[in-house]
């Protein structure tokens, strides 16, 4: 068990060139910090402390009570950051995990393995390291025949040290008593004039205390985000991780390179996702669906066996066996029951459409309650806005709305009623009635002939 985890998140993230604190930048739809917290939730961690400084007010809003906050008013380095929490740490803690808020790809399994190694080896520090081809920017692990001697930062490294490919991932387990005592001994005698947490390794080695390492198997987990290029790299890795999991659970993704699925999305088996599809937020899609091509679904629920093509669906709920698109736009608050068809160039907002109803072409339905087995003809519009307020349209079961109808809300159409095509309906229509509101057609015989004469 990890007694205490300390997340370092006080740095400015200068290299991001951003107004937003680094750890709030999103990777696959979720902030870096949220990824780290998620990993800690899944790992065996007792207590969590976060070090905040730059952008603390914004970051605090994104935290819940489960985490203790410590402020680092001046950001004088990673060692200085941990010093701020020193009073909260216990000498009896066998394992204090320190990790960075900017390593969102780290997995909980890895944290647990690191902790196991730390526990079994009786080391005062166990560093999570990785061997990578391009170690530029990372602290290098310097070893001699006795083991790890030091971690040297890129900026302080000699040419020989820079060749070393084993890097510090920024994740470590410390013995509580060692950490409390040795934090006080850190100095800022280096190129960046910072108190480096990594110098604890050198101090331990000098005292003949045991420093161990756990080498990452999947080096992708070690990616620390310092700039937007690395942000995009992390995005891609995480996106593929999500898609791989989905594919292995029975979802077909025709072309993962051309598909964007965020970490929080769930999809049932035998659903097929076509290229150009974006699935975002905590979207849930059932089994046997066809989604895409060219579709965006955000924070929505879609039932089983539904088909969505070339459409945008935002914060909506869609039942089983529905057909959406091509070119439908379902805005927040759309609720479709089972067997509903929404066809081309249809926009729906904050409306409920009952079982088996159809809105096949060219319509706007807003603030409406539509019953079951209703047919809404091509070009029908709910005129829901009077310039100041929004009003509700009600259409009862089995009503038939003729093409090109304007329903001026507030208005109700009764059960089984029929609206003549081209009507502008301003009054309620009772059940079983025909509502028609348009000029009667007049034919003028021989009109063309007379004009020519
Ligand atoms: C750090 C490590 C480096 C490692 C790399 C892994 C040190 C000295 N270096 O370098 O060996 O290879 O991470 O990604 O530790 N932070 C604070 N307060 C501060 C400074 C930083 O809270 O005063 C936080 C940052 O918000 C960030 C983390 O510590 O979450 C790491 O800081 P960063 O500046 O990114 O360190 P690196 O240069 O990446
Ligand atoms: Mg970093």
pLDDT digits (tens, 9 = 90+) for 60-74: 998 988 899 999 999
pLDDT of res. 71: 98
pLDDT digits (tens, 9 = 90+) for 177-234: 999 999 999 999 999 999 999 999 999 999 999 999 999 999 999 999 999 999 999 9
Q: Is 8 in the pocket of ligand 1 (CB under 6 A)?
A: yes
pLDDT of res. 179: 97
Tell me how far the alpha carbon of residue 58 lies from the centroid of ligand 2, in angstroms.
Answer: 20
Q: Is residue 412, in this structure, part of any structural domain at all? A: yes
Q: Is residue 188 domain-shared with residue 315, that is, in the same domain?
A: no
Residue 80 catalytic? no
Q: Is 363 in the pocket of ligand 1 (CB under 6 A)?
A: no
Q: Is residue 87, in this structure, part of any structural domain at all? A: yes
Ligand 1 atom 31, closest CA: 100
List 35, 54, 118, 361, catalytic entry: 361
Q: Is residue 266 domain-shared with residue 325, that is, in the same domain?
A: yes
pLDDT of res. 146: 86
Tell me how far the alpha carbon of residue 42 lies from the centroid of ligand 1, in angstroms.
Answer: 23
Q: Is residue 452, in this structure, part of any structural domain at all? A: no
pLDDT digits (tens, 9 = 90+) for 368-407: 999 999 999 999 999 999 999 999 999 999 999 999 999 9
Give the domain-ending residue among 200, 222, 244: 222
pLDDT of res. 358: 98
Q: Is residue 184 domain-shared with residue 274, that is, in the same domain?
A: no
Residue 14 has pLDDT above 80, yes or no: yes
Residue 450 has pLDDT above 80, yes or no: no
Q: Is residue 337 domain-shared with residue 319, that is, in the same domain?
A: yes
- Which ligand number lies closest to the CA of residue 198? 1
Residue 44 has pLDDT above 90, yes or no: no
State the CATH number of the domain containing residue 14: 3.90.550.10
Average pLDDT, stretch 415-431?
Answer: 98
- Number of the ligand 1 atom closest to the C-alpha atom of 51: 22
Q: Is residue 444, in this structure, part of any structural domain at all? A: no
* Residue 218: domain span: 4-222
Q: Is residue 445, in this structure, part of any structural domain at all? A: no
Into how many domains does the chain fold? 2
Average pLDDT, stretch 343-370?
Answer: 98
Tell me how far the alpha carbon of residue 443 lies from the centroid of ligand 1, in angstroms.
Answer: 83
Residue 113's pLDDT band, with cuts at 50, 70 and 90, is very high
State the CATH number of the domain containing residue 421: 2.160.10.10
Tell me how far the alpha carbon of residue 416 lies from the centroid of ligand 1, in angstroms.
Answer: 68
Q: Is residue 441, in this structure, part of any structural domain at all? A: no
Share of the chain above pLDDT 90, in %: 94
Q: Is 83 in the pocket of ligand 1 (CB under 6 A)?
A: no
Q: Is residue 19 domain-shared with residue 90, that is, in the same domain?
A: yes
Q: Is residue 59 domain-shared with residue 97, that is, in the same domain?
A: yes
Q: Is residue 238, in this structure, part of any structural domain at all? A: yes
Q: Is residue 145, in this structure, part of any structural domain at all? A: yes
Q: Is 102 in the pocket of ligand 1 (CB under 6 A)?
A: yes
Q: Is residue 190 domain-shared with residue 264, that is, in the same domain?
A: no
Q: Is 34 in the pocket of ligand 1 (CB under 6 A)?
A: no
- Number of the ligand 1 atom closest to the C-alpha atom of 153: 11
Ligand 1 atom 20, closest CA: 77
pLDDT digits (tens, 9 = 90+) for 141-182: 999 988 899 999 999 999 999 999 999 999 999 999 999 999
pLDDT of res. 453: 59
Give the domain-ending residue among 152, 187, 222: 222
Give the domain-ending residue among 222, 254, 286: 222
Residue 452 has pLDDT above 80, yes or no: no
Q: Is 216 in the pocket of ligand 1 (CB under 6 A)?
A: no
> What average pLDDT is seen over the chain?
96
Q: Is residue 218 domain-shared with residue 247, that is, in the same domain?
A: no
- Number of the ligand 1 atom closest to the C-alpha atom of 72: 18
- Which ligand number lies closest to the CA of residue 154? 1
Ligand 1 atom 35, closest CA: 226
Q: Is residue 175 domain-shared with residue 253, that is, in the same domain?
A: no
Tell me how far the alpha carbon of residue 100 lies from the centroid of ligand 1, in angstroms.
Answer: 7
Q: Is residue 168 domain-shared with residue 51, that is, in the same domain?
A: yes
Q: Is residue 249 domain-shared with residue 139, that is, in the same domain?
A: no
Q: Is residue 162 domain-shared with residue 263, that is, in the same domain?
A: no
3-state SS, the chain, equals CEEEEEEEECCCCHHHCCCCCHHHCEECCEEHHHHHHHHHHHCCEEEEEEEEECEHHHHHHCCCCCEEEEECCCCCCHHHHHHCCHHHCCCCCCCEEEEECCCCCCCHHHHHHHHHHHHHHCCCEEEEEEECCCCCCCCEEEEECCEEEEEECHHHCCHHHHCCCEEEEEEEEECHHHHHHHHCCCCCCCCCCCCCCCHHHHHHHHCCCCEEEEECCCHHHHCCCCCHHHHHHHHHHHHHHHHHHHHHCCCEECCHHHCEECCCCEECCCCEECCCCEEECCCEECCCCEECCCCEEECCEECCCCEECCCEEECCEECCCCEECCCEEECCCCEECCCCEEEEEEEEECCEECCCCEEEEEEEEECEEECCCCEECCCCEEECECCCCECCEEECCCCEECCCCEEECCEEECCCCEECCCCEECCCECCCCEECCCCCCCCCCCHHHHHHC
Q: Is 198 in the pocket of ligand 1 (CB under 6 A)?
A: yes
């Amino acid at each position: 068990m990890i007694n205490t985890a300390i997340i370092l998140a006080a740095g400015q993230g200068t290299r991001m060139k951003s107004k937003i604190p680094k750890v709030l930048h999103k990777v696959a739809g979720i902030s870096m910090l949220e990824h780290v917290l998620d990993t800690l939730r899944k790992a065996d961690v007792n207590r969590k402390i976060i070090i905040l400084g730059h952008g603390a007010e914004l970051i605090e809003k994104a935290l819940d009570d489960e985490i203790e906050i410590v402020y680092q008013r001046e950001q004088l380095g990673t060692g200085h950051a941990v010093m701020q929490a020193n009073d909260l740490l216990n000498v009896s803690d066998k394992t204090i995990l320190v990790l960075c808020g900017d390593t969102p790809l780290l997995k909980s399994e890895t944290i647990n393995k690191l902790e196991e190694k730390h526990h079994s080896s009786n080391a005062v520090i166990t560093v999570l390291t990785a061997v990578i081809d391009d170690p530029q920017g990372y602290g290098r692990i310097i070893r001699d025949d006795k083991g790890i001697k030091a971690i040297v930062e890129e900026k302080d490294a000699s040419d020989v040290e820079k060749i070393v490919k084993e890097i510090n991932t920024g994740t470590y387990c410390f013995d509580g008593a060692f950490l409390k005592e040795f934090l006080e001994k850190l100095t800022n005698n280096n190129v960046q004039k910072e108190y480096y947490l990594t110098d604890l390794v050198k101090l331990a080695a000098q005292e003949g205390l045991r420093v161990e390492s756990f080498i990452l198997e999947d080096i992708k987990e070690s990616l620390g985000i310092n700039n937007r290029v690395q942000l995009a790299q992390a995005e891609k890795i995480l996106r593929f991780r999500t898609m791989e999991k989905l594919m292995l659970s029975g979802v077909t993704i025709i072309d993962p390179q051309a598909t964007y699925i965020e970490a929080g999305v769930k999809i049932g088996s035998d659903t097929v996702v076509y290229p150009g599809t974006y699935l975002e937020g905590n979207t849930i899609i059932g089994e046997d669906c066809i989604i895409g091509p060219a579709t965006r679904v955000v924070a929505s629920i879609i039932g089983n066996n539904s088909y969505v093509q070339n459409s945008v669906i935002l914060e909506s709920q869609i039942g089983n066996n529905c057909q959406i698109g091509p070119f439908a736009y379902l805005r927040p608050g759309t609720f479709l029951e089972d067997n509903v068809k929404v066809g081309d160039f249809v926009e729906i907002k904050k409306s409920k459409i009952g079982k088996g109803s159809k809105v096949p072409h060219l319509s706007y339905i807003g603030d409406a309650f539509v019953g079951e087995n209703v047919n809404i003809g091509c070009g029908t519009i709910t005129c829901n806005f009077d310039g100041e307020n929004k009003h509700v349209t009600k259409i009862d079961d089995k009503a038939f709305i003729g093409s090109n109808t304007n329903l001026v809300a507030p208005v109700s159409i009764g059960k089984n009623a029929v609206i003549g095509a081209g009507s502008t309906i301003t009054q309620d229509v009772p059940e079983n009635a025909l509502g028609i509101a348009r000029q009667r057609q007049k034919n003028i015989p021989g009109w063309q002939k007379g004009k020519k004469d």
